[in-house]
Amino acid sequence: MQELIPFQEQFFEALTRQDVQGGLTVVQAAVDAGFPAKAVLLHVTIPALDRIGLMQANNEIALSQVFVVARIVDMAIERLNRLMSFRVITTLDERPSLGTVILGSAPGDYHSLGRKIVGTFLKLGGFKAIDLGINVPAARFVDTAVREEAKVICVSALLLHTAEEIKEIRALLRERSLEAQIKLVVGGAVFNADPELYRAVGADATAVNAHSAVTVLKQLVGGMP
Amino acid sequence: MNSFERVVAVLNHELPDCVPAGPVMLMQGAAELGLSLEEYFSRGENLAEGQLRLWEKFGHDLLCGFPHVVEDITAFGASLMYFRNGPPSAGEMVIRSYDDAFNLAIPDPASSPVLNETLRALHLLAGQVKGEVPIVGACIAPFSLPSMLMGTEMWMELLFIEEPAVRQPVLDHLLNVTLEFCAAWANAQLAAGADVVVLADGMSSAAVLTRPQFMDLALPVVRAVVRRIDGPVLHEGVGDIVPMVDLLPSTGVVGLMLTPRDNLSATKTLVGQQLALIGNLNNIEMRRWSPADMTRTAQSALAQAAPGGGFILAAQGPEVPLGVSDDVIHALVHAAHAWRY
Ligand code: B12
């Protein structure tokens, strides 16, 4: 979709300027120019967000910028979704969905910004992400994963004592012999402060930001890069 | 020199006898007294006694006369949630709409029973150790307090997404309320016995704001509140602060608490003799350090920031978590005190 590259460039620029209206105008202009909503999502919104993700990975942007970008992207997706036949994004390209992921904040943890951003990236990365919100009890993570046939449970924790609660999820997976089919991935500021901590709480993997969360999950569920 | 003289020397840019050690221990006192965290945090007597026992045990150079800064929100009518093994947090958000924000009144710190316990702790500590060891008070900084009253999402929505015509009146009112409250609360703590006040400003670091946003939004508020506080103020950005650190001396703060992501040598070069630096050992990793790991890491921090004075060796904010062994805390204190001038 070469023709969409200029739109992608403009959308990316609007994101870096944190220009909500500008971003939405670019998306609308691409649709008005006759491109299908799905193509706009695939070739304008997602690559631009990817580039922002890389900047975040390199510590080039602040939380305020990530916050506004996530909002612009959410609004753009909502508009494009309305133009498409399906409401919830599961897969965005011709490949089948990469699978279901259960996402939530650890028991006792009320931080939600990072988790929501991870959710947006996972959806755009091709996963069906079910977000259970803040302060999710260990059993609810596991029960929902079983019911939804999820391949991964993703837990966000920013505090040490809530990170410790993740051990309970590992214990439940073990008790119910689910360890082979359900992987446990964790993230949040506290895991970035201590790169060893994820192992101590019984997780299979961690990722330092939303962008690498997608890479890590792809590797974990399908050996994909 | 006693601990008080040592820290005062650092804040005045004079050479102390050795580097002061300032591990912030907010929860450890509970175990010393055999109390739950909730019992410990809820009574001024307990807080003071816990701090004194810790001082006896570790011989460090700063005592904290406050439970955990989140208590500030109780003055606005919010409740607290206590945990078995971690810091308390806000029970609910008291601001649920811009209208709520616009109607928020400036509370009197003394109206909160919880804050009175902090004043009681400070008063008791001052009665026992004033002039021997510095007593630290703390407040949530005015620019960050809204995120604890309305939630960070609503706060960022207001700051970065809202139409200017809607944003400005709400923002002006809200920051006026938090600024007035913070100044009154800091001054009440100083009057009760605190020697220095920490402004915990979790929303104003490079982790959250760009430099232009910091200059535009946060810096004027820091400057205004520091002017109103009748004692020395330390700034804790809670995220990396180096990208804006050159702007802070102009605010009137006397020292900065740094994170492990802030490079000590670079910060020292940027602010030189203008600000004391406090930090910046990784408090999360610390739980699995041996005393030898602590000594090694502390010595590397000291080598960067101690020469010429102006440095207090500490963990990064907010505190040394539970699970860090006594031996490791002893090693921190020894490393600091072994650096003689
Ligand atoms: C905003 C904030 C809050 C807000 C949260 C609002 C909300 N709706 O989220 C409020 C005000 C409610 C809050 C409360 C508290 N907070 Co707070 N908070 C912060 C702050 C300033 C920013 C956090 C944030 O949103 N970061 C931005 C996001 C994008 O980053 P992130 O969450 O790390 O997520 C990224 C990655 O980590 C990763 N990721 C995140 N989750 C996941 C999950 C998976 C599976 C993967 C793979 C990756 C991944 O991807 C994300 C995007 O790139 C930090 C300080 C800071 N500067 O970081 C403190 C901080 C996290 N809070 C802290 C504390 C202590 C508290 C309180 C206990 C304070 C108190 N006494 O009330 C309470 C606890 C409440 C509770 N029980 O949860 C401490 C934690 C210290 C520690 N670890 O020991 C911090 C570090 C501040 C500090 N130094 O004092 N907080």
Backbone torsion region of residue B271, taken as left when φ is above 0, otherwise alpha when ψ lies between -120 and 50, otherwise beta: alpha
Residue at A88 is within a domain: no
Q: Within this chain, do residues A105 and A148 fall inside the same structural domain, yes or no?
A: yes
Residue at A21 is within a domain: yes
Token digits of residue A148: 């939804």
CATH number of domain containing B83 = 3.20.20.210
Whether pLDDT at B63 is above 90: yes
Lowest mean pLDDT among A77-91, B49-63, B242-256: A77-91
**Closest to B62 measured CA to CA, from B26, B28, B22, B27:** B22
Q: Do B209 and A62 lie within an 8 Å CB cutoff? A: yes
pLDDT digits (tens, 9 = 90+) for B128-176: 999 999 999 999 999 999 999 999 989 999 999 999 999 999 999 999 9
Q: Within this chain, do residues A162 and A72 fall inside the same structural domain, yes or no?
A: no
User: Which is more confident, B277 or B239?
Assistant: B277
Whether pLDDT at B338 is above 80: yes
Token digits of residue B59: 């011989």
Q: Within this chain, do residues A78 and A119 fall inside the same structural domain, yes or no?
A: no
> Residue A67's pLDDT band (boundaries 50, 70, 90)?
confident
Q: Within this chain, do residues A129 and A201 fall inside the same structural domain, yes or no?
A: yes
Number of domains in chain B: 1
Residue B199 domain boundaries: 3-338
- Checking ipTM against 0.90, whether it exceeds it is no
Residues 6 or more apart whose Cβ sits within 8 Å of residue B242: B206, B262, B263, B266, B267, B270
Phi then psi for residue B136, to 5 deg, are: -105, 135
CA torsion B29-B31-B35-B36 (nearest 10°) is 100
Ligand 1 and A108: CB distance under 6 A: yes
Lowest mean pLDDT among A47-61, A112-126, A128-142: A47-61
Kindly tell me the burial class for residue A90, based on how many C-beta atoms sit within 10 Å of its own C-beta (0-12, 13-18, 19 or more): middle
CATH number of domain containing A39 = 1.10.1240.10
Averaged pLDDT for residues B231-250 = 91
Residue at A89 is within a domain: no
What was the pLDDT predicted at A196? 93
User: What whole-number distance in Å separates Cα of residue A222 and Cα of residue A220?
Assistant: 6
Asked if residue B147 lies in contact with residue B155, where contact means CB atoms within 8 angstroms, the answer is yes
What was the pLDDT predicted at A39? 85
Domain boundary, last residue among A83, A117, A136: A83
Nearest to B89 among A64, A68, A110 (CB): A110
Answer whether B323 touches A (CB < 8 Å). yes
* Residue found by looking up tokens 């070739």 in the block: A43
Q: Within this chain, do residues A128 and A206 fall inside the same structural domain, yes or no?
A: yes
pLDDT digits (tens, 9 = 90+) for B188-236: 999 999 999 999 999 998 889 999 999 999 999 999 999 999 999 999 9
Residue at A116 is within a domain: yes
Q: Within this chain, do residues A37 and A75 fall inside the same structural domain, yes or no?
A: yes
Averaged pLDDT for residues A30-38 = 87
Residues of A in contact with B208 (CB under 8 A): 62-64
Which sign, positive or negative, has the C-alpha torsion B146, B151, B155, B160? positive
User: What whole-number distance in Å separates Cα of residue A70 and Cα of residue A207?
Assistant: 18
Which of A61, A112, A160, A165 is the best mutation test for B, with the most CBs of B within 10 A?
A: A160
What was the pLDDT predicted at A223? 62
* pLDDT, averaged across chain B: 95
Number of domains in chain A: 2
CA angle (B2, B5, B8) in 5-degree steps: 145
Which of B95, B140, B238 gets mutated to test ligand 1 (max ligand atoms within 8 A of its CB)?
B238
Nearest to A67 among B85, B160, B206 (CB): B160
What was the pLDDT predicted at A91? 43
Whether pLDDT at A50 is above 90: no
CA torsion A208-A214-A217-A223 (nearest 10°) is -120
Residue A58 domain boundaries: 2-83
**Which residue on chain A is closest to B286 by alpha carbon?**
A194
Whether pLDDT at B91 is above 90: no
What was the pLDDT predicted at B333? 98
Nearest to B208 among A20, A62, A161 (CB): A62
User: What whole-number distance in Å separates Cα of residue B329 and Cα of residue A130?
Assistant: 42
User: What whole-number distance in Å separates Cα of residue B7 and Cα of residue B218?
Assistant: 27
Residue at A71 is within a domain: yes
Averaged pLDDT for residues A44-57 = 83
* Residue found by looking up tokens 């700034």 in the block: B235
Which of B37, B152, B154, B159 gets mutated to test ligand 1 (max ligand atoms within 8 A of its CB)?
B152
Residue at A36 is within a domain: yes
How far is residue A141 CA from its own chain's centroid?
A: 17
> Residue B106's pLDDT band (boundaries 50, 70, 90)?
very high
Averaged pLDDT for residues A115-138 = 90
**Which residue on chain A is closest to B260 by alpha carbon?**
A193
What was the pLDDT predicted at A84? 67
| Residues on chain A bordering chain B, Cβ-to-Cβ distance under 8 angstroms | 18, 20, 61-65, 67-68, 71, 108, 110, 112-113, 159-162, 164, 190, 193-194, 196-197, 200
Whether pLDDT at A59 is above 80: no
* pLDDT, averaged across chain A: 88
What was the pLDDT predicted at A92? 47
> Residue B26's pLDDT band (boundaries 50, 70, 90)?
very high
Residue at A124 is within a domain: yes
> Residue A224's pLDDT band (boundaries 50, 70, 90)?
low
Lowest mean pLDDT among A112-116, B117-121, B183-187, B290-294: A112-116
Averaged pLDDT for residues A150-162 = 96
Residue at A178 is within a domain: yes
What was the pLDDT predicted at A96? 61
Whether pLDDT at A87 is above 60: no
